[in-house]
Amino acid sequence: MKDRGQYLTALERFSRAAIGHLPTRVEAMPNLGQELGLSLFVKRDDCTGIGFGGNKVRQLEYYLGAAQDVQSDVLLITGAVQSNFVRTAAAMGCKLGIRCHIQLEERVPEISDLHRTNGNVLLDRLLGATLHSYPDGEDETGADAAIRRIADSLRDAGQRPYVIPLGADSEPLGALGYVRAALEVLPQIEAIGGVDEIVVASGSALTHAGLLLGLRLAGDTTPVRGVCVRRNATLQTLRVTQRIADTAALLGLDGQVVAPQDVSVTDAALGPGYGQMTVDTRAAIERTARTEGLFLDPVYTGKVMAGLIKLAEADALCGRRVLFWHTGGQPALFGYSDQF
């Protein structure tokens, strides 16, 4: 599907609440790039607008489009305590007049009171979201079942809930936002003279899978390297591969669009697990701020930059042109401020 019109026609079959500030810019990062011995650029998806922006805006445009189709008046979503996804869902729901129930998982061990009250949690409350808790951060099936029970109770009360599921067995509507983003970034990459590699966070895998699938559908072969933020490289490779297949099926595509060898991930910066600060992550956040005036977060982009720095120091990126995809998440910094 290398024809742009055909590509867009496949996407237009899905409803979209188009409220993000798009397109986002691609900018040079000359100071940090020079230190690392490469030409470094950043795709500013931290600037997608509503609710402090971030990559989740692109994903939620499709979930909220589906919610509007069924005339939903309440949105339900699950995420970690400092989740960017739930914060953005609440903000976009406010914009569209849809209330939000948030289920916060205990995904990060031994967190502080600051972590539970500041950053994204503070914003969730300011947005008027109703907060619930789920005790196990590694039980996607159980979390989805729990939030559906909340939805059932709201339905019994006469409301019209729409659930955004967490598990990898759910329909990957959010990935469509990054299939579309691939079309947006290609002329930007051409305008800066091309890149040799794109580096992006790989967690739920909807951003990574959608972007990689979108590029290949457009006939572009740029490598996309995912930096693991939740699972090891073996498990994440399986997840990305499955989400690509699911998204391709959702678009009605037959056959294999992305070759297995194109799914590239590294867990070099994962550390002990999701949302857990490491020395390398903290150093990457501080270094990026002090060289480029650009803020990263401890959960996603800080780890991505830490992984990118490790690759550069190992000469894996020497002299190359690299696009770092900034997925946002800066509000979480305030939930981790006691660790800086």
The 3-state secondary structure of the chain, one letter per residue = CCCHHHHHHHHHCCCCCCCCCCCCCEEECHHHHHHHCCEEEEEEHHHCCHHHCCCHHHHHHHHHHHHHHCCCCEEEEEEECCCHHHHHHHHHHHHHCCEEEEEEECCCCCCCHHHHHCCHHHHHHHCCCEEEEECCCCCHHHHHHHHHHHHHHHHHCCCCEEEECCCCCCCCHHHHHHHHHHHHHHHHHHHCCCCCEEEEEECCCHHHHHHHHHHHHCCCCCCEEEEECCCCHHHHHHHHHHHHHHHHHHCCCCCCCCCHHHCEEECCCCCCCCCCCCHHHHHHHHHHHHHHCCCCCCCCHHHHHHHHHHHHHCCCCCCCEEEEEECCCHHHHHHCHHHC
Contact status, residue 192 vs residue 165, Cβ threshold 8 Å: no
Token look-up 């969730």 returns 124
Q: Per the omega criterion (within 30 degrees of 0), is the bond before 272 cis?
A: no
* Rounded Cα–Cα distance for residues 137 and 299 (Å): 15
Is-contact 32 70, C-beta < 8 A?
no
Q: Catalytic pick from 83, 170, 202, 204?
A: 83
Identify whether the C-beta of residue 8 lies closer than 8 Å to the C-beta of residue 183: yes
Distance CA 339, CA 277 (A): 8
User: Is 153 one of the catalytic residues?
Assistant: no
101, 75 Cβ separation under 8 angstroms? yes
**Which active-site residues does the annotation give?**
83
